[in-house]
């Protein structure tokens, strides 16, 4: 039996339903919907099924949009990947299950990182009952901590974290962050470490 890609209209409907279920504000849903429709028009013109989008295709779209922006405004946008990504990452997460797609681990430490983060996401869903959007944010936060920690020491040290380790990480992340963002970072880190202790 041949598998046919889901039409763009069906993806748009599923996307909007998913945004409502995740508690996005109506104004955000409207912006995300408009941004994704532009992206889907680009894919249609390029004859690329949404299911086949990868980071290189998304980067080509940002480049295309940046060129159009420059033609209209006479200057390049400051951050094309941010300006033209309204909702697209959320849509691609719906389509692929996660976004960006995980890169295959090349070391034992990277394998451990991916396994820990996958287990953490499952724990957040099953034991804490958190929304998919919250899980994605917390998983990314855990992944950032593990990536930073891996550059600082060995995987074995993960089981013997000290207050000094945590302070060093927060100091490394804190510059430029608002107080509310620092507080949120501290809470998500505490949650991740609680999971690591289970």
pLDDT digits (tens, 9 = 90+) for 52-80: 999 999 999 999 999 999 999 999 888 77
pTM value surpassing 0.75: no
Angle of helix 179-197 relative to helix 108-126, nearest 10 degrees, comes to: 100
Q: What is the average per-residue pLDDT within 121-142?
A: 86
The residues spanned by each domain of the chain are 8-96, 108-197
Q: In the chain, what is the straight-line distance between the N-terminal and C-terminal CA atoms, in Å?
A: 44
Q: Can you give the pLDDT at residue 112? A: 83
Q: What is the average per-residue pLDDT within 3-29?
A: 82
97 dihedral zone (left: phi>0; alpha: psi -120 to 50; beta): left
Average model confidence (pLDDT) across the chain: 84
Q: What is the average per-residue pLDDT within 27-51?
A: 93
Distance CA 17, CA 26 (A): 12
- Residue whose pair of structure tokens reads 């941010």 in the numeric block: 82
Question: Please, which pLDDT band fits residue 3 given cuts at 50, 70 and 90?
Answer: very low
Q: Can you give the pLDDT at residue 5? A: 54
Q: Can you give the pLDDT at residue 4? A: 47
- Residue 137 exposed, middle or buried by CB count within 10 Å (0-12, 13-18, 19+): middle
pLDDT digits (tens, 9 = 90+) for 138-191: 888 888 888 888 766 566 677 777 888 888 888 887 776 677 777 888 888 888
Residue 1 has pLDDT above 50, yes or no: no
Q: Can you give the pLDDT at residue 2? A: 38
Q: Are 135 and 121 in contact (CB under 8 A)?
A: yes
């Amino acid at each position: 039996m041949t598998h046919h890609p889901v039409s763009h209209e069906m993806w748009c409907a599923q996307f909007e339903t998913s945004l409502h279920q995740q508690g996005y504000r109506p104004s955000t849903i409207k912006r995300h919907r408009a941004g994704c429709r532009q992206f889907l028009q680009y894919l249609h013109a390029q004859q690329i099924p949404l299911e086949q989008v990868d980071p290189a295709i998304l980067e080509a779209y940002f480049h295309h949009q940046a060129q159009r922006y420059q033609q209209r405004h006479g200057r390049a946008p400051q951050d094309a990947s941010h300006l033209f990504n309204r909702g697209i990452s959320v849509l691609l997460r719906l389509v692929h299950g996660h976004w960006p797609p995980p890169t295959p681990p090349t070391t034992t430490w990277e394998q451990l990182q991916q396994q820990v983060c996958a287990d953490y996401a499952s724990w957040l869903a099953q034991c804490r009952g958190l929304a998919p959007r919250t899980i994605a944010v917390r998983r990314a936060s855990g992944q950032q901590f593990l990536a930073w920690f891996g550059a600082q020491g060995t995987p074995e040290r993960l089981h013997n974290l000290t207050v000094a380790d945590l302070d060093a990480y927060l100091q490394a992340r804190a510059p430029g962050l608002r107080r509310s963002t620092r507080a949120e970072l501290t809470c998500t880190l505490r949650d991740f470490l609680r999971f690591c202790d289970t």
